[in-house]
Amino acid sequence: MSNDFYTFDAEVRTELGTGASRRLRRADKVPAILYGAGKDAVSLTLDHNKVNQAQDHEGFYTHILTLNIGGESVEAILKDIHRHPFKPKITHLDFQRVDPNSKIHTNVPIHFIGDEEVSKKGATAVHQLTEIEITCLPKALPEFIEVNVADLVPGDSLHLSEIKLPAGVASVELAKGADHDQAVVTVNANKAAPAEDSEEASDSDAE
């Protein structure tokens, strides 16, 4: 996906408060805040339509984003997104500045492959985690972590320590110690369907 997709024009927001935010939303704008990297927090406004289109794509949540603010390009990651409880509206965004020399702390999704191969063995791959909490420098940030389960059989499991992370990427949980080595996926055998002849035998006994 092009870098333009992850680039957003933003304006500094001077009017704050609930009333001001409501007026912005009625004008199809999204209030936001940008913080981090040892700098003061800045209140911003972004175009709702572009953000709404971007939020349908997984990369919006894990990619390094570019915010164009008054002629300055600022790199940031999305830290939080607030949505209206029942309307298809985004109500607020939280961005964290990215320092190329400082590690960032975020979650990245897991992409499981090979589930179909597990199914052919009469089993189901149960995804215990859907994302992994990581730390890394911005240049090493992956959009997702791929986990191949094709070779697993019933009774098998994969833990965080067995997942190959990209170079420069570390698991936050594993850094806490061996007792935080969470299961990422387990494989359970499917329950066997009752045999037809057993059903017929039961019918005969009933007669």
The tens digit of pLDDT for each residue in 76-121 reads: 999 999 998 888 889 899 999 999 999 999 999 999 999 999 999 9
Exposure pattern of 117-154 as b/e (b: 16+ CB <10 Å)? ebeeeebebeeebeebbbbbebebbbeebebebeebee
User: What pLDDT score does 145 carry?
Assistant: 97
User: What pLDDT score does 44 carry?
Assistant: 93
**Per-residue model confidence as pLDDT tens digits over 144-156:** 999 999 999 999 9
Answer yes or no: are the C-beta atoms of 154 and 117 closer than 8 Å.
no
In the predicted structure, residue 193 carries a pLDDT above the cut 60: no
User: What pLDDT score does 51 carry?
Assistant: 92
User: What pLDDT score does 5 carry?
Assistant: 84
**Per-residue model confidence as pLDDT tens digits over 4-59:** 789 999 999 876 666 666 666 767 788 999 999 889 999 999 999 899 999 989 99
pLDDT tier, 73 (very low <50, low <70, confident <90, very high otherwise): very high
In the predicted structure, residue 196 carries a pLDDT above the cut 60: no
User: What pLDDT score does 191 carry?
Assistant: 84
pTM summary value? 0.80
In one letter, which amino acid is 167?
A
Backbone angles phi, psi at 35, to 5 degrees: -145, 175
In the predicted structure, residue 61 carries a pLDDT above the cut 70: yes
- Partnered with residue 159 across adjacent β-strands are 183
